[in-house]
Amino acid sequence: MELLYSVLATVAAYLIGSLSFAVIVSRVMGLNDPRTYGSGNPGATNVLRSGNKAAALLTLVFDALKGFVPVVLVDQFGMRFGLGEGTTALVALAAFLGHLWPVFFRFHGGKGVATAAGVLMGINPWLGLATLATWLIVAAFFRYSSLASIVAAVFAPFYQLLIWGGGPEAIAITVMGLLLLWRHSANIQKLLRGTESKIGQKAAAAAVAAPHANAHLHPHGHSHSHSHSHKHGAKR
């Protein structure tokens, strides 16, 4: 029976994680689907690009809760059903994977930062706070949500292993960290090129680079006239 309960808890956590609150909140508040603007990522940072801070905050809170609640429920009530640390780790990972590949939204999910934060808070509040502090410090100094998430994803497993030791939960945290890095691979490239959007940057502003990219595709079009006008201006 313990195995059945463990499987049921894991599946339930995945289904809860599959609730894409960026899309749900945007629909309820009459906003555009976050998958259609900015980075196209259904997460709080991209919802913030819509200019609606309340929607972004609600997305952040609910995305964190869907990681936090399943983990805490298993941690608090799992023992009576024979569920231990192994199931807690599975539930934590399942909720996170649900956000990345949500069954209710054609498996088109977000990057999982808020959900991972909720999972860490559920596993160990001190670990969650240490990781959150890391994110806030990097975000405050550099104003890049992606960079803050990348650094936090790297540090979280080290915090767990160095302070609280190994075990199933440490494995789950490490897997989440690696998946977060993978989901941010495009952001890493943008950071290296200096084209990454900063926190709070509007969707329209984030797309400014697109016309310039298109100009290079038409060397005999606007890019040529722009170059000509620039030279003409330089002669003046």
Closest CA to 6 of 82, 105, 93, 69: 82
Which pLDDT score, from 0 to 100, does residue 200 have? 64
Which pLDDT score, from 0 to 100, does residue 198 have? 85
Residue 204 to residue 213: CA distance in whole angstroms: 15
Six-digit token string for 27: 């629909």
Give every residue of the chain whose pLDDT is below 50, as ranges: 204-236
Could you give the count of Cα atoms lying within 13 Å of 26 in the half-sphere of its Cβ?
25
DSSP code string of 5-57: HHHHHHHHHHHHHT--HHHHHHHHTTPPPGGGSTT---SHHHHHTTT-HHHHH
For 75, other C-beta atoms within 10 Å of its C-beta total: 20
Count of residues making up the chain: 236
Q: Angle of helix 145-159 relative to helix 185-193, nearest 10 degrees?
A: 130
Which pLDDT score, from 0 to 100, does residue 203 have? 52
Q: Give the CA distances from residue 52 to residues 19, 31, 97, 118, in Å, rounded to whole numbers and listed in that order.
A: 20, 9, 27, 22
pTM score, whole prediction: 0.82
Which pLDDT score, from 0 to 100, does residue 202 have? 62
Closest CA to 17 of 149, 151, 179: 179
Which pLDDT score, from 0 to 100, does residue 217 have? 40
Which residues, in sequence order, are CB contacts of 110 under 8 Å at separation 6+?
20, 22, 41, 42, 43, 63, 99, 100
